Every structure is written in C-alpha cells, then in structure tokens.
Structure 1
Amino acid sequence: MNKRVTLEMPEEMHQLIVEYASEAGAEPDDYLRQMIQRELENLQDLTAAEEAMKRIRSGEDKVVSSEEFWRGLDD
C-alpha cells in the first residue's frame, strides 16, 4: 500500500527537482521517488559495509587476497 507524504522544501530545491526531472523525461514526483529509493539503497549498502567492517575488526571475518580467495576453487 502506498502512502502519501507532504514535504515542505525551499523553492530553489523544488525548482532543481523540476528541472532535473524534466531533463530525465520524468515527472517531478516520480523523479523524487527514484532519488529517495537510490538514497535508501545507498544507506543499506553503507550499513552492510559497516557491519562487515565490524566483523573484520572483531576477527569474526578476515580479509584475504584475491589470489588466496581463488586458490583451490578450480579443483
């Protein structure tokens, strides 16, 4: 189910969204939705990377070279 959100923003920001949406051939609402989706995906990736770094620092996971990684996989 979709939810409607009302957002106040400076006129300059709104104008930029309208301009970029037009250049992309999209409606401003669709363009903004896509921007938010990309940012949410970036935040998920960042969270996953931070979790991986915690596991590496704690010794739970280890970093190996690409040579070490591929060694034995062809067997």
Structure 2
Amino acid sequence: MPAPNGFAYSVRGADVVITHHGRTATVLRGARAAEFLDEVESGDPQLLMARVTGNYRRGNERAARQHARNQR
C-alpha cells in the first residue's frame, strides 16, 4: 500500500485546517487540535493526517467484504 501524500495543515487561531491536494478535508478544534499538533511532531505527519481525515482506505474494501470469513 502506498504511503499517503498530498496532505497539508495550517493553524488558524485555535483551529487546525487539514487540506488534501489543496481542498479542505477537515477542521480540528479545541482539544483535538491541540492533540493533533502534539502528535504531528512525533510521527509521520502524512499518515496522521490521513487517519484524522478518514482518507486511509485504498480500494481493497470490496475484496475484504467478499472474503469467506466476513460472510454472515
């Protein structure tokens, strides 16, 4: 699976705005924004932003849904 890319963030007052390829993906406010700023310095910022925005799936969901262990 390729590493996520194209994410950027900017701090606007107490808010953190995360963009993906120039388009706003999410805005973090309050405690979540402060937590994000702490985490972004210690880890992979692209992966963290992908997790926060929910953009971490890469197309194998259909195959996983059709797998025998996921059939009910």
Q: TM-score range by the shorter chain?
A: 0.3 to 0.5
Q: TM-score, normalised by structure 2?
A: 0.41
Q: Looking at both structures, which has the greater relative contact order when contacts are Cα pairs under 8 Å and sequence separation is at least 6? A: 2
- Structure with more of its chain in helix, by fraction: 1
Which structure is higher in strand share? 2
TM-score for both structures, normalised by structure 1: 0.40
